Structure 1
Amino acid sequence: MSLEFLLTSFIVVVSPGTGVLVTLAAGLSRGARAGIVAALGCTLGIVPHMIAAVSGLAALLHASALAFQTIKYLGVAYLLFMAWQVLKERGALSVDEKTAPRSARQVVLSAIFVNLLNPKLSIFFFAFLPQFIGQDETAPLMHMTELSLAFMLMTFVVFMGYGLFAAAIRSQVLSRPYILTWMRRVFAGAFVALGTRLAFSER
């Protein structure tokens, strides 16, 4: 496993995207446990991308205009839905000591879905990962699986850090309502920006 792969993977993982926003929102709104659970959900959301890359389904998706457009606009719709949820007083970024806890299953499913429609992951597994599989590789599928698992582990560790950081500053947000107001706007704007970028993306 090359240093170049690890460094590039780290840049991809740590860069702000839908998974990072979901994990931060979970940690801010419901504490450390929710942040860790969201990180786990986002990591599990990588599995379909990994399976697609290993099995060659990514190539089929790339070749099919209809399939690509369908996945793309499902992602756009969900990102806009997330933006609306964040702006609501009792929505996805509701930071309140009396906030009703969401079950681990709800948090995980939401995180899986948002990463399932994450275009950054599709690009990573379709365009980037194969570059690290040599033409003379004796077991290319095994090597690709190993690299994918390393990427997933890195994602979980980094996202868990995001979630714990968000949980650590939760009390500061609780004591300063105006911070939450601006955070809602920033998060909503970020989701809209990601949705807009995805809407205009090409294969």
Structure 2
Amino acid sequence: MSLAFLLTTLVVVATPGTGVVYTLAAGLSRGRRAGVLAAFACTLGIVPHALATVVGLAALLNASAAAFQILKYAGVAYLLHMAWTTAKDTSVLDVDRDSAPLSARRVIVRGVLINILNPKLTIFFFAFLPQFVSPGRSQSAVRMSALSGVFMLVTFVVFAAYGALAASVRGHLTSRPRVMTWLRRSFAGSFVALGAKLALTAR
């Protein structure tokens, strides 16, 4: 395992994106458990992209404009849905300790969908992983699978840290409804911005 791969992976994972925004929102809204579940869900959402790369489907997606556009706009639609839900549903960032916990299933499904409906992950894996696999290597698929596993492990650890950090400050926000309203709107705006960025992204 090269140091270059680990450093690049860490930079890519730690850079704020849809998964980070979602994990922070989960940690703020329902605490450490929800933050960790969101991190786990976002990591699960990477699995199809990694598998697509290993088995060669990424090449097909990269070559097919129609396939890329369909997946891209499905992702845009879901991000806009997340923005609307976050902005309108006050329970999304409700830090009342006596409130009922958000179901684990709901947290996981949302997190998985966020990353599954992100075609740039497949393109990223297709462009990123081969750089760390020697051409003509007999076990290149095995090595790419191992690298994908490391990428997902780093994703989970970093996202879980984000979620735990958000959960650690949620108590300070309980008595500040205006701050929570601002945060809710900020997260909604972030989902809109990320959706717009994805919509404008060319292959």
Instruction: Please give the TM-score of this superposition, normalised by the length of structure 1.
Output: 0.95
Deviation for aligned residue 1:127 = 1.1
Q: How many residues align?
A: 203
Instruction: Provide Cα deviations, 1:69-103, integer angstroms capped at 9, x if missing partner.
Output: 11000000011111111112435333333433222
Instruction: Provide Cα deviations, 1:93-115, integer angstroms capped at 9, x if missing partner.
Output: 33333433222122111111111
Instruction: Provide Cα deviations, 1:29-52, integer angstroms capped at 9, x if missing partner.
Output: 111111111111111111001100
Q: Name 1:187's counterpart in structure 2.
A: 187
Q: Name 1:102's counterpart in structure 2.
A: 102
Letter in 1 for 2:5: F
1:27–1:33 CA contact under 8 A, matched in 2: yes
**Residues 91 and 202 from structure 1, CA distance in 2 versus in 1: closer, same or farther, beyond 3 angstroms?**
farther
SS in 2 for 1:127: helix
**Alignment partners' CA distance in 2, 1:86 and 1:95:** 14
Instruction: Provide Cα deviations, 1:99-144, integer angstroms capped at 9, x if missing partner.
Output: 3322212211111111111244223201111111111423100000
Deviation for aligned residue 1:61 = 0.9
**Residues 115 and 194 from structure 1, CA distance in 2 versus in 1: closer, same or farther, beyond 3 angstroms?**
same
2:95–2:171 CA contact under 8 A, matched in 1: no
**Residues 120 and 9 from structure 1, CA distance in 2 versus in 1: closer, same or farther, beyond 3 angstroms?**
farther
**Alignment partners' CA distance in 1, 2:20 and 2:60:** 28
**Alignment partners' CA distance in 2, 1:93 and 1:118:** 24
Deviation for aligned residue 1:189 = 1.3
**Residues 197 and 65 from structure 1, CA distance in 2 versus in 1: closer, same or farther, beyond 3 angstroms?**
same
Please tell me the root mean square deviation across aligned C-alpha atoms, in Å: 1.3
Letter in 2 for 1:33: R
Instruction: Please give the TM-score of this superposition, normalised by the length of structure 2.
Output: 0.95
**Alignment partners' CA distance in 2, 1:76 and 1:170:** 29
1:87–1:93 CA contact under 8 A, matched in 2: no
Deviation for aligned residue 1:28 = 0.6
**Alignment partners' CA distance in 2, 1:60 and 1:119:** 12
In the alignment, structure 1 residue 37 sits paired with structure 2 residue 41: no
Give structure 2 stretches of 5+ with no counterpart: none
2:48–2:116 CA contact under 8 A, matched in 1: yes
Deviation for aligned residue 1:65 = 1.4
In the alignment, structure 1 residue 73 sits paired with structure 2 residue 73: yes
1:76–1:196 CA contact under 8 A, matched in 2: yes
Percent identical: 60
**Residues 155 and 54 from structure 1, CA distance in 2 versus in 1: closer, same or farther, beyond 3 angstroms?**
same
Q: Name 2:22's counterpart in structure 1.
A: 22
**Alignment partners' CA distance in 2, 1:123 and 1:61:** 8
Matched ranges for 1:97-176 at <5 A:
97-176=97-176
**Alignment partners' CA distance in 2, 1:121 and 1:99:** 35
